[in-house]
Structure 1
């Protein structure tokens, strides 16, 4: 409710996390707390949820009490009324430390509900306090507390409300189990069979707080950044109220902006008095100018420079003016511009005037049951994003608006945010006045919270509403509802004028999901099972989501599924968690199998029962190879594409989900393939047919790239038949395309396009190095038909001896350096060392090559445990044991 206010010196925020009880009743059976007290209801103590700062959702509470889990029988959380209650004492200044430096004795106490899902009523001491119809709207209510208080919350059964007769939608959204969910402002998580766990979000999912203020109350803070030449300008407006309200005093509001010990200050001016009774107190507004401001950049392109913003507020009364300090959090200065190109067919972002290739994934809550996450877990998850070379996350309209901790981490780590409003696929009743008012309040609150965040790069009206309308036969005039084309666009322009607005995640062209115009959900390579060259032929401009596969996690993650290590891919317990589109006669396991067959020339169905572990190993690598190849294609210099976001970053529950990271936070093979392809400086090889092989060097950094590019040619997986190197230079934020044939004397048919004889090589390796060190970027091109490239008809073609060695060298910090060497080409080496996580995995190693991989010690490992592990290349018959160097 306070926009960007993070903390106020003198205001006490008391999270109400402990002492809650939970009960469920049949829909509509109990009307209010008085009837509840008379009813025979079984109450369950709710374990405190420090991460949520709230009593937590019904599903999370039952999970914590070990009476329900995602692995057990399903429970219809939308089919019951749910009740929470808590008793707590009222204000008692003798029982708590006095805030220092506070003016006056008058105190204002407010109950704050930051998120109630979904149709909720709140009573305080038997009096109805809040009725909420939107889980995305926060409520703040000033209250008078008694000596002893009872807070009661009821969340009504959504199923009963959905049963009411309402007008039919103009198109269907098959991913949603009930079409009339469109009337309710609730997340689709838990309500989309086929891709989200069956745990509908019901109850308090954001903090419930007692807010006690004395002396001065700071409300309704709005921030906005702009530029005046090379100076950054921060615009601030806020509401200031004194307690008690009848007292008068001349206010002084000072804004401070600090970075690196340098502080800039400015005084805000009081605006003319307002006659609006809904805006008590006085409005103060002003701006602060920072000469030669340090600009914020995505981490791939520069430093994400941040400034800390503070307000100091005082009211002069009786000759005293002790200030109240208000922390407004971090702000950054950057210019974001939407570039649609001279033909207005494209979609690309320019950050501070520089075109940025946006790559990343669609974010999912770390815990889809509670929707809460410890700030340290969020930090670790976004570190993982940054380390992968990704520079953008999309918060999709199928999810929820994330916490301030999430956006803080994105700001600090230089990760751009594509932010959807929480609308997806459905035909929303925008003409209903109550619905429209609720949506407007939701948008206002969300935008004020996100304003002046440098990570915020795109505001998007919805996820695939236009695409769904078009695909399901709605007339063209209904594809772009005014809610997204006009209403939300206007609100975004008012509060966040520096952020581009886009009406839908798939938008532009003759139909909304046309890949070569605007933005699209691109699944040509992927769900639609097209060949890899479709990534170029489709001329994708910006894939707001793409490359959805049922990505197989490593064995330890599979062990956490029902059935454990004995589970097989055709088992119902596996298939329950295999993502699918409802109504389709296929799932995303089938999509993965299609590309396993293409890459490895095997029959996945036969391999699945002949050698299930081999089947899984090929599946892990196949989706990683496909994703890396597509992004290599999209990042090349002549590509039309300006960005791609994988659907999803992280699985919602254990299984072979869309995530490139499993539900426990462990990277899958696909993550590692992408990590190498998405680094700020990367190299890629493409087959250009009769034009031979092309080597593509992309460089996002702010300084020129000076390096050496080596191309090595091998035959039969071991024999060196050519090697050449030359210096290369790339400008800042630049790219190169170099014919591989230019490195060698005479003509070499390196991609065997002309077929006038045997190929000169069946493996081409391009490496970027500096000063003769290990390659810092590398690409491999395996000629189609090479014996070591395919698994064979049975999937069992593997070599007995690659000459692979692995030596572990302990480090002083507790981690381990793993030194790996091979005589022959080793494909997709899987490093598996107990109690350690490899910084890189599922990587290729060139013949005669060596590399050092860092192993991070996991918290579960004690220093006394011996190091045990293996390396398993995809083309090796057996694993290689890790030895410990002496």
Structure 2
């Protein structure tokens, strides 16, 4: 197999549509893989699409057609040689021509395409012209909609009529910048006799600990009539197995066993050993490889326990026989312009997930099947992957041309992802069964198809055929035993649940109204960090309602919900800087509140997957990490709430109790100290107890009434400490507490790699934070949202390459706490 990449020398031009005069007629250099927007940006023809209100200036691109041209040289095909032109991904509605002859057309971003170009290359000239012409995906989708009939969907564009990343068309956190381009590699492949068309390793572990790699291979032969005999060899851990592929056969299976295989575990549960797998195809009796496939595998078993119990239907991920509490987040494309997401960027993002004690990422259905880099990194870090098929928040036609496209993409991607031990389960769609039940779709559909057969017939059958080692769920939320007209898909007693009454309608304390079996979506909004916000938005003055700020707030009534969400808890902000800090603080509080509630109910509740880890551009959103990769306060809140050992005060039977959560393999045995204190540090009541929490368990501790019955709720708190784990429980909301608004004294000094900020509290200070990015864009603090008791000193380390005045890190807009939002309140 000889591969010739075709990435250099492409030219881009607009060919139709409402193209501005300064772009019309221009030809610019194109980067492949890439997209038209990025090429125009590199040529200086458009502003950065993320800047201020540039998104509005680029609406013309929605209905523009594009042409990519490449002149390249290659040798003609030898008499016994097959030459394929291979596109790993085209975005999206394209026609491919070689030397003016049409090779084929495409209408699916989620799959690859292969064209036999032996005859097209001819036997003469070595120079050829390759052209890829892209139609407007929006206009194509509108045509399909007119032909098949409208199906309900969120947001204005009919993204459900074309197999393209749904959030390309805008979402309640994403821009409406509809990409087009050659978004994955393109190459010529020269081969003879046969090639490995698909390599599908199914990895299991026998009861005696023997690892088993069952490699299913599809072979394509250059001679469709059958050709010669072949041999297939698979190598794992130094063990080689071979099998003959008789003449005319196009598939084979070879199994390699590895005794005493080291098990792959999710992070926090064990190590992540990976084994190299090499699959080699040769002609029978000839040792020269025709084709080689290399990947890594990991030995583990994974399933989801949905065995009905006295409550309903659980949804518990089980790895190597061990039930796992899923501590996770939803994952969206990490940049709207997908080709800018490098492996290094994926590593940084997944490391942030692991740094916040997460063990699962859910690849959400409005995005893409992620890149090999993503799954490789999750394999290495021990992060479980829940993979949605790309369907979200819409009713999808089951007629052609969509049915065949869905089948093709599903087959390709299920087979592609089988090697990855991180991949835990497949999910049919996001919220579509819920949408059919509650969002008025039946009235609009009037009997037309809406996607049900995808989720209950096509996709589960493909998973069962190609990857029977993994669990399939029809939707999220979903009751695994639910007929469409049966128990509500979002019923807390069954399967997965999405909790969106919080944020949309009710206060975050209402998370406690429900005890789901697995909460796969919930969250709260806040703006990006200050450095990200001010890099991309330049309104004067900058306010929550200034024009560019509002363009970067995509949620319906988003700002109103931010203010409504703060009102029961925090004092009304006096300035935009206060509003920015208060909304970020409230986001962290709200999400941590939900996570602590869910974790306190383990094993009844077996997962908390927050919406969302990341952003695809600079925006006010639910993300913990903003579009410039900076952690928001929420990220620190997640790290606290997902910590392996957690103390949290929760209501049980009408009274507050202390819940101790131990997500370690060892028991948690230590002294537990409970104190009712005043903000000034006076200890009013103190008790010492023995804490003993078994491994991977939750224990309930009943505090004495004198510890949870304050004399003055506005100036007292319960402090619970076990080793280095602490929780502070307050008896009223911040807006009603008698905080000292200026309880902190601080000094910052230079240290290797940055600065140390030494902070001392003269009175209780809640959620102490150093907002270091306000001082230097690259500055990141090691900890945030720390409760400090009266008399305590805490050091915060800020990492930055910038040379700054250390005193800037103690400025009142940088060194913050919940107290700093309050005027002094005195109550009797």
Structure-2-length-normalised TM-score = 0.88
Aligned partner (choices 741, 754, 763) of residue 824 of structure 1: 763
Give a deviation string over 1:586-627, Cα, whole Å, max 9, x none: x22222212211112x4x4xx4xx422212221111111111
Q: How many residues align?
A: 788
Asked whether 1:520 is paired with 2:497, we answer yes
Answer whether contact 1:121 1:130 (CA < 8 A) is retained: yes
Answer whether contact 1:418 1:459 (CA < 8 A) is retained: yes
- Distance in 2, matches of 1:558 and 1:475, equals 42
- Measure how far apart 1:284 and its partner are: 3.3
Q: Which residue of 2 aligns with 1:496?
A: 467
- Distance in 1, matches of 2:500 and 2:348, equals 29
- Residues 347 and 864 of structure 1: is their aligned pair in 2 closer, same or farther, counting only changes over 3 Å? closer
Query: Could you say what the CA RMSD is over the residues aligned between the two structures, in angstroms?
Result: 3.2
- Residues 155 and 498 of structure 1: is their aligned pair in 2 closer, same or farther, counting only changes over 3 Å? same
Aligned partner (choices 153, 158, 162) of residue 137 of structure 2: 158
Q: Which residue of 2 aligns with 1:200?
A: 178
Gaps of 5+ in 2: 480-485, 823-828
- Distance in 1, matches of 2:2 and 2:759, equals 56
- Measure how far apart 1:417 and its partner are: 1.1
- Residues 863 and 294 of structure 1: is their aligned pair in 2 closer, same or farther, counting only changes over 3 Å? farther
Structure-1-length-normalised TM-score = 0.82
- Measure how far apart 1:334 and its partner are: 2.6
Q: Which residue of 1 aligns with 2:697?
A: 734
Q: Which residue of 2 aligns with 1:293?
A: 261
Asked whether 1:18 is paired with 2:8, we answer yes
Q: Which residue of 2 aligns with 1:544?
A: 520
Gaps of 5+ in 1: 1-10, 30-39, 49-53, 94-103, 582-586, 742-746, 770-774, 880-886
- Measure how far apart 1:108 and its partner are: 4.0
Give a deviation string over 1:200-233, Cα, whole Å, max 9, x none: 1222222222334468632211110122212221
Q: Which residue of 1 aligns with 2:372?
A: 404
Q: Which residue of 1 aligns with 2:792?
A: 849
- Measure how far apart 1:645 and its partner are: 1.9
- Measure how far apart 1:526 and its partner are: 1.8
Answer whether contact 1:617 1:874 (CA < 8 A) is retained: no
- Residues 322 and 485 of structure 1: is their aligned pair in 2 closer, same or farther, counting only changes over 3 Å? closer
Answer whether contact 1:551 1:657 (CA < 8 A) is retained: yes
> In the TM superposition, what are the counterparts of 1:594-609 in structure 2 within 5 Å?
594-600=564-570, 602=571, 604=572, 607=573
Asked whether 1:588 is paired with 2:555, we answer no
Asked whether 1:700 is paired with 2:700, we answer no
Answer whether contact 1:553 1:669 (CA < 8 A) is retained: no
> In the TM superposition, what are the counterparts of 1:17-96 in structure 2 within 5 Å?
17-26=7-16, 42-48=25-31, 54-68=32-46, 69-70=48-49, 71=51, 72=54, 73-91=57-75
Answer whether contact 1:364 1:652 (CA < 8 A) is retained: yes
Answer whether contact 1:452 1:496 (CA < 8 A) is retained: no
Q: Which residue of 2 aligns with 1:661?
A: 625
Answer whether contact 1:808 1:818 (CA < 8 A) is retained: yes
Answer whether contact 2:515 2:598 (CA < 8 A) is retained: no
- Measure how far apart 1:482 and its partner are: 1.5
Answer whether contact 1:77 1:202 (CA < 8 A) is retained: no
SS at match of 2:536: coil
Aligned partner (choices 723, 729, 737) of residue 781 of structure 1: 729
- Residues 239 and 347 of structure 1: is their aligned pair in 2 closer, same or farther, counting only changes over 3 Å? closer
Answer whether contact 2:676 2:707 (CA < 8 A) is retained: no
- Residues 247 and 577 of structure 1: is their aligned pair in 2 closer, same or farther, counting only changes over 3 Å? closer
SS at match of 1:76: helix
Answer whether contact 1:14 1:211 (CA < 8 A) is retained: yes
Q: Which residue of 2 aligns with 1:5?
A: none
Aligned partner (choices 839, 857, 869) of residue 782 of structure 2: 839
Asked whether 1:349 is paired with 2:312, we answer no
- Distance in 2, matches of 1:138 and 1:243, equals 19
Answer whether contact 2:330 2:611 (CA < 8 A) is retained: yes
Q: Which residue of 2 aligns with 1:748?
A: 706
- Residues 818 and 250 of structure 1: is their aligned pair in 2 closer, same or farther, counting only changes over 3 Å? farther
Answer whether contact 2:333 2:615 (CA < 8 A) is retained: no
> In the TM superposition, what are the counterparts of 1:669-708 in structure 2 within 5 Å?
669-688=633-652, 690-691=654-655, 693-708=656-671
Give a deviation string over 1:417-463, Cα, whole Å, max 9, x none: 11111112222221x24322221111100101111321111211111
Q: Which residue of 2 aligns with 1:4?
A: none
SS at match of 1:419: strand
- Measure how far apart 1:855 and its partner are: 3.2
Answer whether contact 1:25 1:82 (CA < 8 A) is retained: yes
Give a deviation string over 1:10-39, Cα, whole Å, max 9, x none: x4444332211111122599xxxxxxxxxx
- Residues 749 and 765 of structure 1: is their aligned pair in 2 closer, same or farther, counting only changes over 3 Å? closer
Aligned partner (choices 110, 124, 129) of residue 136 of structure 1: 110
- Distance in 2, matches of 1:554 and 1:159, equals 33
Answer whether contact 1:388 1:679 (CA < 8 A) is retained: yes
Give a deviation string over 1:659-696, Cα, whole Å, max 9, x none: 121100101111111111012222222244753x3222
Q: Which residue of 1 aligns with 2:483?
A: none
Answer whether contact 2:647 2:661 (CA < 8 A) is retained: yes
Q: Which residue of 1 aligns with 2:303?
A: 336
- Distance in 2, matches of 1:336 and 1:545, equals 20
Comparing 504-513 with 195-204, greater Cα deviation is found at 504-513
- Distance in 2, matches of 1:740 and 1:12, equals 71
- Distance in 1, matches of 2:201 and 2:793, equals 52
